[in-house]
A and B are shown apart, each in its own frame.
Chain A
């Protein structure tokens, strides 16, 4: 028997222990699992689209200090999540961990908070693509880029991601693999271009760590903390490696590595890119005040034509990021619906027999992400004097939603360990031994701190939106789900016979032309 087949069988048995059948196609290797998180973190999306935000609030020092400080603490968060992914390898990930570490209601809230963050991240990423693509297209086709054309571009981009995700995990996995290399190649092109072709040469390295300069009306220290949104939003979405865990071969080792190494490589390559972009700034005040600081700096440093080529390449990288984020979001919703945690769960838990993908969950992810950006578009239409930016709103919502969802199971695991329920024998192969608790506590401290910083003015609108969504969740919980949500624990009562029959059904019908099926 081939090693891959042995792993596949064992992985399936591990999943079956949690009461689930192997419904999704398990075909992702270690690199693909890493690539999906690396693509969603996408240094060419977060760090680039919020470059102006970081520069405006924290000045050039934001790129040297801000990026590194955030990366350091995010490594603690990622390491804590990696331990959990290794111990409990199911696609529900965060909410599943919370549900079995504490109870189903903790799981339910974690799932919804994660879902809110996922809506924000998909909308934020694809909106970033539109923010870059639309002005570039406008210059080619000679129209004026405005909020409406950006929204149209955003819609087209979302649809393209929906279609590709629907067609199948194999093509998405290949594109994710390509995306990882693509990101590295584009960072290399940007770095080499700026290093050798910046007009007038680079600033001294001291400029990268220059503190005390802000282009906002806030005191520097406070402004610096607001500016951390740039790095903090970049480092989101690495839970994707856990959400695709049921599609990964040898997931208890590969998924944790995917989570952790995607953060580490993003830190290194992101720092290199930000360092060279910042060192090529000619006029920081003008860049911070421009519509798109990254485009401004690149155009000033490399000239119009070369700068445009680089920007097209960066925009394509962002498109890959959006593709991966829909994959992750849809898997999370599929798993949550499988446990009947959402309205119309049976619909979203359906697997396309033809493509072995959660097709309806994919299109729900597209629709919800569109809705969030569309509501913001309407708000801006009604009150054009709103001071916040759409991208800062979407990104702040995703940072808080995702990081609260990351933090809950980490905290619950600490509690479960203190109570003696989670013991050393429950660890997966990837664990931190005696350093585990200290790293988890550092991660939690950072999560609390950063969540507060993300909703203070000028991002208070994100705070209001999140508070509103939380109230809605409480109403939903008290009105229905408190009594009716069975949680992932219910799957444990599935008999092995039922699980195997379900797997046989999918394997037998996994052929072109077959339709949808229901998860029992």
Chain B
């Protein structure tokens, strides 16, 4: 049982990694520089 849970946890970690890579990759592709404004805290 512990082994099964272990592999499920491994799978979950891998899916999170792939998910974040996909989300970030999409945001980079769709990034529009003209809409960006530097955050200067002013």
Nearest chain-A residue to B29 (Cβ)?
A: A429
The answer to whether A430 and B13 touch across the interface, beta carbons within 8 angstroms, is no
* A88 in the interface (beta carbon within 8 A): yes
Q: What are the residues of chain A within 8 A of B20 when measuring CB–CB? A: 75, 79, 260, 432, 439
Contact digits for B8-24, partner A, Cβ 8 Å, 1 yes 0 no: 01101100110011011
Residues of A within 8 A of B31 (CB): 428-429
Residue A208, interface by CB 8 Å:
yes
Total A-B Cβ pairs within 8 A: 92
Q: Is the CB of A206 within 8 A of B3?
A: yes
Checking B5, B6, B13 against A267 with a beta-carbon cut-off of 8 angstroms, the contacting residue is: B13
Q: Contact between B27 and A432 (Cβ–Cβ < 8 Å)?
A: yes
B-chain residues with CB within 8 Å of residue A492 when the two chains form the complex: 40, 42
Q: A69-B9, A75-B17, A492-B40 are in contact. Are A210 and B2 (CB under 8 A)?
A: yes
> How far is the CB of B14 from the nearest CB of chain A, in Å?
8
- Report if A433-B23 is in contact (Cβ < 8 Å); known contacts: A65-B6, A428-B36: yes
A88-B24 in contact (CB<8A): no
Q: Which residues of A contact B27 (CB under 8 A)?
A: 427, 429-433
**Cβ–Cβ contact A72 & B39, under 8 A:** no
Task: Say yes or no: is A422 at the interface (Cβ < 8 Å to chain B).
Answer: yes
Is B39 in contact with A87, judged by CB distance below 8 angstroms? yes
**Which residues from B are CB-within-8-Å of A433?**
23, 26-27
* Contact between chains at B24 and A425 (CB < 8 Å): no
Dominant secondary structure of chain B at its interface with chain A? helix
* CB-based contact B28/A253 at 8 Å: yes
Chain B residues with Cβ below 8 Å from A439 are: 20
A474 to B41, CA, bound (A): 24
Contact for B24 among A267, A426, A430, CB less than 8 A: A430
Contacting pair B39 A88 (CB below 8 A): yes
B1, chain A: closest CB distance, angstroms? 9
- Per the bound structure, the CA–CA distance linking A65 and B4 in Å amounts to 11
Asked if A220 CB lies within 8 Å of chain B CBs, one says no
Query: Are A14 and B17 closer than 8 Å at their CB atoms?
Result: no
Given A260-B24, A429-B27, A101-B36 contact (CB < 8 Å): no
Q: Is the interface of A mostly helix, strand, loop or mixed?
A: helix
Is the Cβ of B16 less than 8 Å from the Cβ of A72? yes
Check: A435 CB closer than 8 A to any chain B CB: yes
**Central interface residue in B10, B20, B24, by most chain A CB within 10 Å:** B24
CA distance A406 to B38 in the complex (A): 21
Evaluate contact between B9 and A65: CB separation under 8 angstroms.
yes
Do A426 and B37 form a contact, CB below 8 Å, given A68-B13, A206-B3? Answer: yes
Which residues of the partner chain A approach B5 to less than 8 Å between Cβ atoms?
209
CA distance in complex: A155, B12 (Å): 42
Q: How distant is the Cα of A209 from the Cα of B1 in the complex, in angstroms?
A: 9
Contacts of A257 in B (CB 8 A): 24
Tell whether, in the assembled complex, residue B24 and residue A82 are in contact, meaning their CB atoms are under 8 Å apart.
Answer: yes
A167 at the B interface (CB under 8 A): no
Chain B residues whose CB sits within 8 angstroms of the CB of A208 once the complex forms? 3, 6
Contact B6 A100 (CB under 8 A): no
Q: Is A64 interfacial (CB 8 A cutoff)?
A: yes
Complex contacts, A489 vs chain B, CB 8 Å: 41-42
8 A Cβ contacts from A5-26 to B: 14, 17-18
Docked-complex contact A17 and B6, CB < 8 angstroms = no
Which residues of the partner chain B approach A427 to less than 8 Å between Cβ atoms?
27, 36
CB distance from A139 to the nearest CB of B (A): 37
Please, how many angstroms separate the alpha-carbon atoms of A257 and B27 in the complex?
A: 12
Residues of B within 8 A of A (CB): 2-3, 5-6, 9-10, 12-13, 16-17, 20-21, 23-24, 26-28, 31, 35-42
28 contacts between A and B (CB under 8 A): A64-B6, A65-B9, A68-B13, A72-B13, A75-B13, A75-B17, A82-B24, A88-B38, A208-B6, A209-B3, A209-B5, A211-B2, A253-B28, A256-B24, A257-B24, A260-B20, A260-B21, A260-B24, A261-B21, A425-B36, A426-B36, A429-B27, A430-B28, A431-B24, A432-B27, A435-B23, A492-B40, A492-B42
Closest 10 CB pairs of A and B: A100-B41, A209-B6, A426-B39, A429-B31, A72-B13, A209-B2, A429-B28, A264-B17, A425-B37, A209-B3
A-side interface residues toward B, CB under 8 Å? 14, 17-18, 61, 64-65, 68-69, 71-72, 75-76, 79, 82, 87-88, 99-101, 205-206, 208-211, 253, 256-257, 260-261, 264, 267, 271, 422, 425-433, 435, 439, 489, 492
